[in-house]
Amino acid sequence: MSILGESVFQFVESDVARQHAMPCLSFENPKLREERVDTSNFERKAPVFVPKFQIYGDQQEVVFQLPSGSSFYGTGEAGGPMERTDKRIYTWNTDAWGYNQNTTSLYQDSVFSVLPNREPFGVLADTC
């Protein structure tokens, strides 16, 4: 796990995966992904939630176990309402001409949650 900024953490499945990763598109300068950050003034130096990486056949999953009562919003560009609690969203990117509220996936994937204590929690999956 890397600390990228205050309350911003990067998780990679393994050291081998990190070594073989393409340049990270999440950074204007991809080399910043590997630079150490001065954490001396950070209030939170460890993540509250740590993902579990799983592989099922040819599919990969990254699972965050969030507390009951969390609300989920957005989950990327997909048809339907903004609030997504108790909904299943498949996150892959595609050109979906003529999409509607039943379209499962459009152009980008991101997860934003509000925890029961009203603290925000977000995930950016850089899958390059």
The whole domain housing 10 covers: 1-51
d(CA 88, CA 17): 27
Q: Is residue 79 part of a domain?
A: yes
Q: Report the range of poorest mean pLDDT among 15-19, 30-34, 48-52, 72-76.
A: 30-34
Structural domains in the chain (count)? 2
Same domain, 91 and 120: yes
Q: What is the mean pLDDT of residues 60-82?
A: 81
The whole-chain average pLDDT of the chain stands at 79
β-strand pairing of 59-63 with 71-73: unpaired
Q: What is the pTM of this model?
A: 0.65
Q: Is residue 101 part of a domain?
A: yes
Residue 108 half-sphere exposure, CB side, CA atoms within 13 Å? Answer: 7
- Which tens digits make up the pLDDT trace of 13-44? 888 887 887 766 666 777 777 777 888 888 87
Same domain, 126 and 78: yes
For 25-83, the DSSP string reads TTSSSGGGGGS----TT-S--S-S---EEEEETTEEEEE--PPTT-EEE--SS-SS-SB
Q: Is residue 56 part of a domain?
A: no
